[in-house]
Chain A
Amino acid sequence: MSKVNKSLPLEYSTEENDLKIFGFWVFLGAEIILFATLFSVYFTLVDRTGSGPIGKELFELPPVLVETFALLTSSFLIGLGVHAMRLGRTKAMMVFYILTLLLGAVFLGVEINEFLTYIHDGATIQTSAFLSSLMTLLGTHGAHVTFGLLWGSSILIQVKKRGLNAKTANKAFIFSLYWHFLDVVWIFIFSFVYLKGVL
């Protein structure tokens, strides 16, 4: 099980680690299908607004741009974090990860605020099929980010307690894959939901 291969980076160094990274890629494949289905549902229902508002009346670009900026930057920072990890610089890695999570929290705060605005304007998840699909898509992504914040924090605690070893490096690396994935999904949401909606 745990033959150690010194020529590989820490997160790949044991057989078990290699399996976990491979398995996580497969899991991300399933996640892609999940979001693809949510997108299909959204595209199917986007014009079925019933008596509720349409996207154009609803979307405001400034907060969305803030969200996009926060998430893209956090994705870049976690990349730097992984790089620092490979150089064995635990402290630098932790700083980058903490910044990542903070930006994630900023993103989440803005998104929650956006939802509250919608609800305040009388556009709830029950108003129309369009809003149901919109909020389910955004909500699923938001829930993933929320889960990511909890997960990332727990990994940071472990790195702090146990230092960088094959296990913690593997966890931190897998978390970075997850975070990049959420970023990619957000780019799709930004382009096909918001930009397409306001144009």
Chain B
Amino acid sequence: MKKKVLIMPALMAFMTMILSGCQPLMVFDTKGPNAKTLSNTIILSIIVMAFILLVVYVLFVFMLSKYRASKQPSGYEPPHEEGSTKLEVTWTVIPIIIVTVLSIVTIFTTSKVEHQQTGYENKKPLVIYASSSDWKWHFSYPEQGIETVNYVNIPTDRPIEFRLYSFGPITSFWIPQLAGQKYAMSDMVTKIHLAADQEGSYMGRNSNFNGKEFAQMEFETQAMSQADFDKWAKEVKANEPKLTEAKFKKLLKTSVVGRESFSSTHLSFSPAPEMDMSKHSGESNKKDSHNMDNMDGMEGMDMSK
């Protein structure tokens, strides 16, 4: 009867497979190198963790089935055991080795997704500013001189550099099938490097709670061929109205809006809070230099990129 506890996770996994249909989960259904790296990292870690779980479960079942009172002779008195240095060292050292391997993987993959994506190093990235306000996303294309709200179109096969910031509470910019998320904050610009390998429509959203209509902060990411993208940008530039300061102020104040397009960006009159990222911490205007010394004297961490 105690084995029920163990059967449960397996049962759950089976049930979820059935229930979730046979579509791959979004995080594993990747459409670009950044998300692919992360997906591989996650799958690797799941395999390692499954192995650890297996070891614990086998031991657990073994102890429970062999040493239950009902299996023992009635007069049995358990012996006194202090412990065993050999065993304790074993299960200290093996986890340390596993942690070391995972740490190397972590640092390697983190570095990989934080830089220009592999296979795209020699192409000039398309810079798109993504800024959030309550409760919508603004996308500014300085190169094309256009701006959209709640949807973003990107060309495939060209690296994209999203520069994120916020007009209010902290938000988190996330397109699961293309890249991991990153915070958008009001006084600094953070960056996501990604690229889309395939054309298609991908869900993007804010994943960091920012108040009442947080659930509505979804946007569509359309990846299209370079030709289609250029055509679309030209059309917007030609047909859509200009984004004036007054109009933008009004837009910021509106809580939920649909999709909008403009033939100029707000960056000219309301520039992004950018700073020279090559400087080191301690600069007065830098956000990412939290010199929080905690009680262990870990001071002055360098948070520059």
Q: Are A and B genuine complex partners?
A: yes
Name the B residues within 8 Å of A36 (CB-CB): 293, 295
| B290 at interface by CB-CB < 8 Å | yes
Contact present for A49 and B290 (CB under 8 Å): no
Contact present for A44 and B295 (CB under 8 Å): no
Report the minimal beta-carbon distance from B302 to chain A, rounded to whole angstroms: 14
Contact present for A44 and B284 (CB under 8 Å): no
Question: Which residues from 246 to 302 on chain B have a C-beta closer than 8 Å to any C-beta of chain A?
Answer: 282-285, 290-293, 295
Contact present for B295 and A48 (CB under 8 Å): no
Contact present for A40 and B284 (CB under 8 Å): no
Question: Which residues from 1 to 54 on chain A have a C-beta closer than 8 Å to any C-beta of chain B?
Answer: 33, 36, 40, 43-44, 47-49
Name the B residues within 8 Å of A43 (CB-CB): 291, 293
Tell which of B284, B290, B292 touches A47, judged by Cβ atoms closer than 8 Å: B284
Tell which of A40, A47, A49 touches B293, judged by Cβ atoms closer than 8 Å: A40
Once bound together, how far apart are the Cα atoms of A40 and B283, in whole Å?
Answer: 16
Query: Beta-carbon contacts of A42-75 to B below 8 Å, as 1s and 0s?
Result: 0110011100000000000000000000000000
Residue among B283, B290, B292 with max Cβ neighbours from chain A (10 Å)? B292
Once bound together, how far apart are the Cα atoms of A33 and B291, in whole Å?
Answer: 16
Report the minimal beta-carbon distance from B16 to chain A, rounded to whole angstroms: 44
Name the B residues within 8 Å of A44 (CB-CB): 290-292
Report the minimal beta-carbon distance from B300 to chain A, rounded to whole angstroms: 9
Name the B residues within 8 Å of A33 (CB-CB): 295
Q: Which residue of A lies closest to B289 (CB)?
A: A44
Once bound together, how far apart are the Cα atoms of A62 and B295, in whole Å?
Answer: 33
Name the B residues within 8 Å of A47 (CB-CB): 282-284
Q: Which residue of B lies closest to A32 (CB)?
A: B295
Once bound together, how far apart are the Cα atoms of A113 and B284, in whole Å?
Answer: 29
Report the minimal beta-carbon distance from B188 to chain A, rounded to whole angstroms: 13
Name the A residues within 8 Å of B293 (CB-CB): 36, 40, 43
Report the minimal beta-carbon distance from B283 to chain A, rounded to whole angstroms: 8
Report the minimal beta-carbon distance from A175 to chain B, rounded to whole angstroms: 26
Query: Beta-carbon contacts of A62-95 to B below 8 Å, as 1s and 0s?
Result: 0000000000000000000000000000000000
Tell which of B282, B285, B292 touches A40, judged by Cβ atoms closer than 8 Å: B292
Name the A residues within 8 Å of B282 (CB-CB): 47
Report the minimal beta-carbon distance from A79 to chain B, rounded to whole angstroms: 29
With A33-B295, A36-B295 as contacts: A48 and B284 at CB distance below 8 Å: yes
Q: Which residue of B lies closest to A49 (CB)?
A: B284
Q: Which residue of B lies closest to A47 (CB)?
A: B284
Which A residues contact B (CB, under 8 angstroms)?
33, 36, 40, 43-44, 47-49
6 chain-A/chain-B pairs, Cβ below 8 angstroms: A33-B295, A40-B291, A44-B290, A44-B292, A47-B283, A49-B284
4 further contact pairs, Cβ within 8 A, besides A40-B291, A47-B284: A36-B295, A43-B291, A44-B291, A44-B292
The 3 lowest CB-CB distance pairs between A and B, nearest first, are: A47-B284, A40-B293, A44-B291
